[in-house]
Structure formats: structure tokens, C-alpha cells
Structure 1
Amino acid sequence: MNEKKKTIVIGSGAFGTALAAVFAHEGEDKVTLLGRNAGLIEAMRESRRHEAVLPGITLPEALNYTIDPSILGVADTVVLAVPAQAQRAAALYYAPYLSKDAVIVSAAKGIERASGRLITDVLNEALPHHHAGALSGPGFAIDLAGGKPIAMALAFRDRTLARETATILSGRTFRIYASGDPVGVQIGGALKNVLAIACGIVEGAELGESARAALIARGLAEMSRLAVAMGGEAETVRGLSGLGDLVLTGSSRQSRNFRYGVALAEGNFDNINAALVEGVYSASVASELAGSYGVQMPISNAVARVLDGKLGIPQALEDLMTRPITTE
């Protein structure tokens, strides 16, 4: 690589900081973390730490920090690492600063609740002169920042652009697989959050590992059906963004969505901030999309009704177990 590429990660939360850290670790490209909290950004610059979300992690010396959005004028790749429901507002806010050739990557795993649209569609609308792709797959921020081996999928409509951007962002501990199926990648990333809540309910209700394994398998079938109905590919959902992410977040208390499901079952919401749980937003949207496309999604629908207070957990479990017997 003759000329260093310039990558900017917008969002100084756990995942945004972790992504910036792993990109900067490689030292091949110039990487900057762009945030809006001046105090936090200055503290990270001085200490190379973000203890609140990445305890024990020392951020790389090569990582730059700023609150100045004008830096976007020189960026080749811009990674939007803000929550799904904030992606549109962030895109519109930073749009005037973007270079005309900047490639946009969404690192959110969700569906816009207000419109029911996938995030790349939201970004294509907000930033019509830029290519927007989606990064998704199994990877906790603490593992990513700590340099542990992680693989994810990056999808653009243009598969060549996906390969080029994946090559730029991949490194020794972070392998990115290119995809031409942004629908499948995003449905997998969004619905795994909903299903992780269901897995947490199974954990909190002490229903056993066998029940969770069945839920993961049948939840994967739901994701596949919706992805195909929306123009995606079932095979994509059986990959990193979908099955891979669901296995991770559906079995670990490191996952906010899983912990929220446990809290629902146990009735204890101490230290749980529902505003940060993407599955809470995606559940009702997924249920509405299922209805619009005529897709059977009983688990996702049940989670949506539980979250909306329309169904109790015991009744939801009974309804799922007494559905008509069908073939798999």
C-alpha cells in the first residue's frame, strides 16, 4: 500500500472505540476516532484508555482522536459506529463534512424503528452521493479491542466495493468477509438481537440448554425466511451475521440483549439500560415486517408482544409450544 488510507470511526462508545483500536493496531492506515464528547476524547488522548466501556484495554498509540468533524474531508472510509436509531441523524449531521469519494460503513445492528427500513437504505437516503455498506457479525467490543481473533461480514450492493473495503479494514486479528447481500447481513444482525432477548428469557426462566438450542435453530429459520422475502439470501443468514452472531449473543451475559431477556424473566432490571438494547427497538419492527411480507415468525412475534406488555412470558411459552405441528 503506497499511500496510507484514512479511516475515521464516528462514535466513541464501546464498539466504535474497539473498531478504531483494531484498525489502528495494524499501523498501515491512518485511523481517527471522532466523537462529540470533548472531555471523553481528551481523556482518551491523554490516557489511551476508555475504562467505562473497555476496562483494562490500552488503546494503540497510532490511534488519533478528535471532536472536529472537518477531519471527515480527508477520509477514504467512514465507519458510523452509533446506535441504529441514531444513524440517520448522525449521517445528516456529518454529511456536509464528508469528502465526495468517502465510503460509508454502518456498524449498527438494527432496523430503523420510525420507518421500518434497513440502515443502509436509511444511509442511502441521507447520503445519496455515497456508497453505504453494513458491517456485522459476532464480536464483543472487549474482545475486538483486546486483539482477539474475530471475523465479521461486510456487505455492499457492489461486491467489488465490499472486497476492496474489507481488505482496507481487515487485519491480523480482524478478518472481514465481503458480501454482496446487504439485506441478508442486516436482517441477520438485527434479528439476532431479538432472538438473543428470547435466549435470555430462556436462561432467566431456567428452561435449560436444550430449549435454548431449539430456539436458536428455529430462530435462524425465521431470520432466513424474512431475509429471503426481502430480497436477501438464506445462505447469508447462516453465516457470520446471523447464525454466528446469534450463537455468541444468545449464550453470553456480555450481550446486552441477552441480559435484558434474563431481566425480563427474573423481573430484575438493575443495571439495565433499555435504551442501549437494540433488540428492544428491532422486535416490533421485525414483527411488522413479518406481517407485511407474509412471513411466519412466531418467536420474534412473541418477543415483540412480551416487550410491548401484550403477552406474559408463561403465556408466550405456552403459545409457542402448542403451535400446530409442521415439518422442519
Structure 2
Amino acid sequence: MVERLTLAVLGAGSWGTALAALAARNQVPTRLWGRDAAALKAMEQTRRNQRYLPDVELPTELVYEPDLAAALRGAQLVLIVVPSHAFSSILEEIQPYLEPDARISWATKGFEPGTGRFLHELVAERFPGRAAAVVTGPSFAKEVASGMPSAVTVHSDDDAFAHDMALVLHAPNFRAYSGSDVLGAELGGAMKNVLAVATGVADGMDLGLNARAGLITRGMNEMLRLGVALGARPETLMGLAGLGDLVLTCTGDLSRNRRLGLALGRGKAIDEAVREIGQVVESVLTADEVARLAAKHNLDLPISSGVRAVLHGEVTPAEGLKMLMSREQKPEYPKGLFSPAA
């Protein structure tokens, strides 16, 4: 445990609540902030997040703070857990209240909508020189909050900060590894959401386990090729941040992105499917940014491209499947794993 460090967790949804509860159980002084003051008050009174984690009892040590300035006062560690579309605005909001020695981390997965920029780029732009880290990996909030075995990885250019954040989260049932490939870790956490829609669609259409395995494997290929083009390390994407998160999200029905794919595969309209899920579905925005990055680096990513077309209503799931299956026969790796044409 990192002693005498106070953690402010910003975002009281399912994942923010789960991580705050984990840290508090680790005896780390932890404050949980959210925009809904009434919801925070109810959480304090009932020790339950009734909307997102109604079956999980929250630790008595966790402090609920509806005032952003108060949440950040004296906090040496900040963990942002908001949807990617709100990430830039929360950085702007916290700037006046950050302690001079506060270090920033985030468990948000995705890109800045409209630009395709990675979240670490936004942090570096607004807080140049300040230590920053991303927390990512295969981890459903409900299972983490319930104390079920899980593993994540913390990546930072500052090795000491990656180590400290990992220690804050590390627990008997929660392994936290560390690394220094921030871009690779972020890419894996974002891109797996797009690929999970593809496997969800296939399962919704009852295409079988062979199709699911093929989509996961070829989706991993797309993730690796885009990652290498961007400068990510292949081993990062073959670890918890990439392959681990991809397998979980593509196969676990707690995944919002998989559930979106399931609904689309069963014939539901996207607006109806998102409304029924009731939470932010990151793949809807992320698919556009993956397409933008692929075009920039002249990469052919047929699964990711097909998901984007389905999400925009340009093709039906059945038409998207036909497009994938009608591609020409070729070697699996014509010029090696990381060739743009692989």
C-alpha cells in the first residue's frame, strides 16, 4: 500500500465506484466525486450504488464528495473515470483545484471524439510535465466491486507513478501490473470495444462459436497492426491491455459493447439498443476514431470498418457479414504479422 496518499476518484458510475471501493478497502483514503449530489448522498446513506451496482455493499471507509474542489483538496492521486466524450471537459474543470503535487490517472477507455486523439495527449496538453498514468485491462466493474479475482495494468511514462498507482489498487483478489507503454495500453482499451460489437452481432445472429473465435483472432490482428503503425509495443497489446480486454469484452455479457452487438444481430435498431443498455456505449464513438486512424496510416481493417458501417446504418449486420466473408482468399500473413495488408 502507498501510505499517506489521498485518492480522489472522479466519476461515480459503475467503474468509478468499483475502483473507489477497491482503494478504500485497501486502506487508501479515498473520495468519490460525481455530478449527481443526490445520488452520492443516497450512496453514503445506503452504502449502495443503486443505479449501477445495487447488489454490492460499499466500504464504510469510502468518502462521498459532491463538491469537486473539496474532492481534490489535499489529494495527491487523481483517478478519472468518466466517459471518453466527457474527458476533455473534466480536465478543464479540475485544473483550478489540483494540488501542485497531484498526479493524474484515468480508467477511461476511448479517444477524444472528433479528433481521434488519445487521452494521454489531452492530459499532456493541459498539464505539461505532470505525471500521468492509464489504468486498463479485462475488468468488469461488478466483479471487481464484488471482490472477484481480476487483473489490470497501469502504464505511465513515470515508472514511480505506475508503481504507486498499481500499489493503490493491488489487493488479494486484484492484481495490478505496471508498464510504460501508455499509447499501446490506451489503444487496446479503446479498440476492443469496437471488436466486441462484431462478436456480439455474430452471436446475436447465432453464427456459432467458430465465427466468434475467428472474429476475435482477426480482430486481434487488426489491433496489432494499428498499434504497431502508431508506435505501440506488440507485447502490450498481447497482454492485459489488449488481448485480455479483448477476450473479456467479446465473450462476457456484462460488456455493454457486446450487448449492443447482440441486440443489433437480433434485429434491433441502434437507438433502441443503446437506450435499453442505459449507459454510455463507447464503441459508437470509438469506431469512427479507429477508422480515422486506419485511414491516416493506410491500413485495411475490415472488421473495424464493418462495425462502423453497421453502427452508422450504412449496412445491415447481415450485409456486413457478407462483405467480410466475400473477401478474396489469401495467406493469413502475406508479408508478416504487421504488414498493412495482413
TM range (shorter): over 0.9
Shift of 1:275: 6.5
CA 1:92 to 1:129, structure 2 compared with 1: closer, same or farther past 3 Å?
farther
Kept in 1: contact 2:132–2:161 (CA 8 A): no
> What does residue 16 of structure 2 align with?
16
How far off is 1:274 after superposition? 7.6
TM-score normalized with structure 2 length: 0.92
Partner of 1:81: 81
Q: Output one character per residue of 1:7-53: Cα deviation in whole Å (capped at 9) or x when no partner.
A: 110001111001100111112x2111011211111111111111211
Partner Cα separation in structure 2 for residue 194 and residue 207 of structure 1: 18
Could you give the per-residue CA deviations for residues 113-157 of structure 1, whole angstroms, max 9, x where no partner exists?
A: 121111111122223342222111111111111111110111112
Matched, 1:315 2:314: no
Summarize deviations over 1:38-89 as a string: whole Å, max 9, x none: 1111111111111211021110011111012223131111000000111110
After superposition, what is the alpha-carbon deviation per residue over 1:236-283, rounded to whole angstroms, capped at 9, x for unaligned? Answer: 111111111111111122111001011111123355358610011100
Contact 1:10 1:79 in 2 (8 A): yes
Distance in 1, Cα, partners of 2:141 & 2:43: 16
Cα separation, 2, equivalents of 1:11 and 1:110: 16
Between the aligned partners of 2:189 and 2:98, the Cα distance in structure 1 is: 26
Aligned to 1:46: 45
Aligned position for 2:62: 63
Letter in 2 for 1:53: Y
1:318 and 1:19 map into 2 onto residues whose CA distance is 41
Gaps of 5+ in 2: 333-342
The 1:2/1:214 distance shift into structure 2, 3 A limit, reads closer
Paired residue type of 1:291: A
- Say if 2:186 is the partner of 1:182: no
Q: Which residue of 1 aligns with 2:304?
A: 300
Q: What TM-score do you get using the length of structure 1 for normalisation?
A: 0.96
Counterpart position of 2:102: 102
Matches within 5 A, 1:1-328: 3-27=3-27, 29-71=28-70, 72-268=72-268, 269=272, 271-273=275-277, 276-328=280-332
Q: Could you tell me whether the CA contact under 8 Å between 1:194 and 1:257 is conserved in 2? A: yes
What is the alpha-carbon distance in structure 2 between the residues aligned to residue 143 and residue 26 of structure 1? 17
CA distance in 2, matches of 1:146, 1:62: 16
Pairwise CA distance, 1:173: 2.0
- For residue 200 of structure 2, give the secondary structure of its aligned residue in structure 1: helix
Give the match's secondary structure for 1:276: coil
How high is the sequence identity, in percent, across the aligned residues?
40
Report if aligned partners of 1:274, 1:280 keep a CA contact under 8 Å in 2: no
| Other structure's SS at 1:232 match | coil
Letter paired with 1:144:
V
Preserved CA contact (<8 Å) 1:100 1:129: no
In 2, the alpha carbon distance for the partners of 1:36 and 1:179 equals 32
Instruction: Answer whether contact 2:166 2:176 (CA < 8 A) is retained.
Output: yes
Distance of 1:10 and 1:55 partners within structure 2: 20
Contact 1:92 1:127 in 2 (8 A): no
Alpha carbons 1:26, 1:172 under 8 Å: kept: no
